């Protein structure tokens, strides 16, 4: 498997070169992202943004270099697909 370029985190602390508690996590996220295809990158970023909560898309955008709008759109796609699965599951049980 070919690895893509590994993005360097652009969050405030990483840009300053501060050795903060999440620096390794940011590096791991970007390493993982380099192995994923474009759709997988979007969905992983959306999942991480959901985990973070408020302003998650903006922060994940800084970490990964993905556009914030793309992450928000992927968050919406995940939400819609999950709702569709729940509807299908409830119809199956009826």
Residue 80 backbone class (left: φ over 0; alpha: ψ -120 to 50; beta: rest): alpha
**SS3 at position 21:** coil
Residues 8 and 84: their CA atoms lie apart, in Å, by 36
Residue 1 scores a pLDDT above 80: no
Average pLDDT over residues 6-32: 94
Q: Quick check: 71 and 44 in contact, CB under 8 A?
A: no
Average pLDDT over residues 13-19: 92
| Radius of gyration of the CA atoms of the chain, in A | 16
When divided into structural domains, the chain yields a total of 1
Let me know if residue 85 belongs to a domain. yes
Residue 7 placed within a domain:
no
Does the pLDDT at position 94 exceed 60? no
* pTM of the predicted structure, to 2 decimals: 0.85
Reported as a single tens digit per residue, the pLDDT across 75-84 is 999 999 988 8
Q: For residue 38, what pLDDT is reported?
A: 95
- Domain-located, residue 1: no
> What domain range includes position 16?
12-93
Does residue 4 fall inside a structural domain? no
Distance CA 89, CA 74 (A): 22
- Evaluate whether residue 28 is within a structural domain: yes
30 inside domain = yes
| pLDDT score at 85 | 83
């Amino acid at each position: 498997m070919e690895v893509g370029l590994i993005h360097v985190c652009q969050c405030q602390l990483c840009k300053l070169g501060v050795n903060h508690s999440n620096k390794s996590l940011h590096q791991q996220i970007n390493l993982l992202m380099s192995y994923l295809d474009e759709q997988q990158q979007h969905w992983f970023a959306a999942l991480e943004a959901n985990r973070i909560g408020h302003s998650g898309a903006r922060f994940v955008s800084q970490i990964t270099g993905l556009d914030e709008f793309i992450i928000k759109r992927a968050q919406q796609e995940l939400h819609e697909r999950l709702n569709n699965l729940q509807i299908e599951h409830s119809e199956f049980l009826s």
